[in-house]
Amino acid sequence: MAPGDLELVKLTKRYGATTAVDAIDLRVPAGTYCCFLGPSGCGKSSTMRMIAGHESASGGDIILGANNVTDLPPARRGTAMMFQSYALFPHLTVLDNVAFSLKMKGASKDERYRKARAVMELVDLARFEARMPAQLSGGQQQRVALARALVTDPGILLLDEPLSALDPFLRLRVRTELKRLQRELGISFLHVTHGQDEAMALADLVVIMRDGRIEQAGSPQDVFHRPATGFVARFMGGHNVLQLDGRPVSVRADRVRIGEGSADARSVSGEVRGVEYGGATVTVVVHAGDAGEITAVIPEEQFNATPAELGQTRAVHWSRGDEFVLEAA
């Protein structure tokens, strides 16, 4: 394995009778932006805390580069974690907050401040070095937390919902900054999020977890275009999960059109149960008996050409090439 490569082997976390992380295997090549995505309680944070060493593993291994770090203390792993609550020291200046962990490592004051100032430059904090945390905005405090994690030169940076406390405008800005930073540093970022769009925008590798297991790991394109399971298709959104020819199949809602379609298209019909205008698109829901409920997202002008009304019986169709057979749940 190259330095900075991360491998999880049958990694498991049990809290009493609860299995929070259930023997997961995952490989994250060095320099990857990896997002962990999944519903609340699926084991994302437990996985991160085990990788960082803030939680012991109940089983399995964490391999970082050439080292098995499973039982090493956090400071000796080559990882750093930025927490949801930024956990800054209120009585220390920004500069001393950032330099703190180097003090713990016994670095001289000159060395500490030199390194701290270099990472503060990187996250655009230089002009705030003399302020106390309470004198900073939420976004600035978050940058201090980020600088504090980066100052130790980690091979992997772990971020647990780093954007959740920010307002939507700032969230977008910080998101762009995180991606830039990851590219510049060339290290892996492991980022826990609840947001599908956040994961799609940032990640090279999206890891979708469910009930302590990895449901699918792949590029954003993979998980969106070729969801492996009905859960992933539903969770990523924008997909229909249907029962066709006795198998579960996914079809993107924006590939479904109203009408019969050509002879080789798949066509089903049913009652129109919903019509919703969304500006550029119109969403039409058709109840197609055993196949299930089908949602079509149609450009407005196409809808106007073949409109549908509530209560009508209408056919919808899509190209068979847009169907993906799912693994049985």
Ligand X SMILES: Nc1ncnc2c1ncn2[C@@H]1O[C@H](COP(=O)(O)OP(=O)(O)OP(=O)(O)O)[C@@H](O)[C@H]1O
Under the rule (CB under 6 A), what is the footprint of ligand X? 15, 18, 20, 38, 40-46
Closest CB to ligand X among residues 210, 266: 210
Question: What is the torsional sign of CA 140, 141, 147, 149?
Answer: negative
CB of 211 to ligand X, least distance (A): 9
CB of 196 to ligand X, least distance (A): 13
Closest CB to ligand X among residues 27, 194: 194
How far is Cα of residue 273 from the mean position of the Cα atoms in its chain?
33
Which of helix, strand or coil describes residue 161? coil
Closest CB to ligand X among residues 41, 292: 41
Closest CB to ligand X among residues 40, 262: 40
Adjacency order of strands within the sheet including 59-64? 18-28, 6-15, 59-64, 67-68
Closest CB to ligand X among residues 37, 156: 37
Distance between CA atoms of residues 34 and 22, nearest Å = 19
Closest CB to ligand X among residues 50, 316: 50
Which of helix, strand or coil describes residue 159? strand
CB of 164 to ligand X, least distance (A): 10
What are the E-state strand segments in the chain?
6-15, 18-28, 33-37, 59-64, 67-68, 79-82, 156-160, 188-193, 205-210, 213-218, 239-244, 247-252, 257-258, 266-277, 281-287, 293-299, 313-318, 323-325
Angle at 257 between CA 252 and CA 261, to 5 degrees: 120
Tokens matching residue 250 = 């996914």
The label of the residue with tokens 């009585």 reads 91
Which of helix, strand or coil describes residue 308? coil
CB of 162 to ligand X, least distance (A): 13
Looking at residue 258, its amino acid is I
Distance between CA atoms of residues 306 and 227, nearest Å = 30
Phi, psi for residue 282 in degrees, rounded to 5 = -125, 135
Looking at residue 251, its amino acid is V
CB of 1 to ligand X, least distance (A): 26
Closest CB to ligand X among residues 41, 307: 41
Closest CB to ligand X among residues 15, 89: 15
